[in-house]
Structure 1
Amino acid sequence: MKTSKQLEHITVANSKSPLLRLPAEIRNQIFELAFTSPSPSSTIHILYQTCTGTARDDLAIQLPFTCRQLYAETANMVYSLNTFLFVRQYHMEEWLAKRLPVQRELIEQITVCTDYMSATCGGYPTRMSVLRSAFLAAKPMCPNLKRVTDPAYLPLAGGI
């Protein structure tokens, strides 16, 4: 437990921080740049298995842990600003189950590798059936989920 003197020192240090002295609107723009890629849709590869593209090791996901104020301002931004890629549906389900409800509510798009998922499922389901299955599995956990996409194809309209 920190003493009141330590907490006072932290408060003074935070008040002198050039970043924390910026207006909230500018800080939010900086945080958005730190948490996403320059491409329209940033993807975070879960479980270090990718099907196309490269993993984003340069996202500033440790930023919320630098101080309490930054945690309060940024802790959930990674969920609202990014698309999450999964190779297997059960990895998606396990990962989502470990997120807090508030984090899952912020997720709007998930990407699944249908080629890999189709090849590992019995009967070789169609790309659409793999996307539909992933959407139906994720939607109860992610109430604001708008679509599930395949990285090799354009996003399918209509919430799949």
Structure 2
Amino acid sequence: MAPRKTAAGDKAPKAPATKKSADKVIKRPARGYHKFRNGLLNVTPKGGEKELVKQNESSPLLRMPAEIRNKIWKLVLGGKLYRSSWSFGFHPSPTGPKHNTALLRTCRQIYSETAIMPLALGTFSIDCIREAKRSLKKFKPTQCKQITTLKLTVYWSNMTGGIMDFCFAVRHSKYFRSLLALREVRVLVFSVPDLDGTREKAEAVYEHLKPRIQDMPFAVKVDYTHQRWSDYLNP
């Protein structure tokens, strides 16, 4: 059988992507902005921007040693609480520091030094495991790798079930397994009837769960409050 002639509209097959081509960084356009594949902005100066970068380097703040600048960035960007939402991923809590991430818009050098800090220094609150999976899905893998602290909120009446669901998700969900930098999980149990009268019972529940928690690659801390969850959502 004779080989079929290539039609005018036929397209040549694309060569399979190699590791070298997959890691290739796309050049920043002359106008607008460009993001790397990890989600961070490409802030490499171009043209007249280079002179502006040199002027910024004379700033008293940027002339400080890197160790001191790093402490300042942590004070400004640390302590933020982000709550999971079914529709919008993680969003900032109305309480706590506001507009602190505006620091990243100051200049290119500050952005390059602080871009991952809001993720690494923030606390990400989980009220529902399914909701948390959906929120984590909105992050890029590189962003997930920066998260260090999770806050798990559960009801007193479902304390055991809530923590068990979380342990199961950590072991079996790819979204939780992507949190490679996770160091601490803070469990807050709401609506405890009497903190003094139920402390022993609460500790007994925690001891029951400890075998399932202690082999986790991060620390788990449990605290209790008689505050209602609805008051926590609407401070």
TM-score (norm 2): 0.51
Larger Rg: 2
Partner of 2:66: 24
Residue identity (%): 24
CA distance in 1, matches of 2:131, 2:102: 23
Unaligned runs of 5+ in 1: 119-123
Partner amino acid, structure 1, of 2:127: V
Partner of 1:127: 162
Report how far residue 75 of structure 1 moved.
0.5
SS of the equivalent of 1:27 reads helix
Partner amino acid, structure 2, of 1:27: R
Report how far residue 54 of structure 1 moved.
6.0
CA distance in 2, matches of 1:127, 1:90: 12
CA distance in 2, matches of 1:146, 1:15: 35
Partner of 2:228: none
Q: Contact 1:64–1:70 at 8 Å: present in 2 too?
A: yes
Q: Which structure's relative contact order is higher, taking Cα pairs within 8 Å and 6+ residues apart?
A: 1
Task: Give the CA RMSD over aligned residues.
Answer: 3.3
- Tell me the matched-pair count: 145
Partner of 2:41: none
CA distance in 2, matches of 1:127, 1:88: 9
- The answer to whether the aligner puts 1:78 opposite 2:113 as a matched pair is no
- The answer to whether the aligner puts 1:142 opposite 2:184 as a matched pair is no
Partner amino acid, structure 2, of 1:126: G
Q: How does 1:1-160 map to 2 (within 5 A)?
A: 1=30, 4-5=47-48, 7-37=49-79, 43-47=81-85, 55-58=95-98, 60-115=100-155, 126-136=161-171, 137=173, 138-152=175-189, 158=214, 159=216
Q: Contact 2:129–2:166 at 8 Å: present in 1 too?
A: no
Report how far residue 134 of structure 1 moved.
4.3
Unaligned runs of 5+ in 2: 1-29, 32-45, 191-202, 221-235
Structure 1 segments of 4+ aligned residues over 4 angstroms from their partners: 153-157
- Cα 1:28–1:59 change in 2 (3 A) is farther
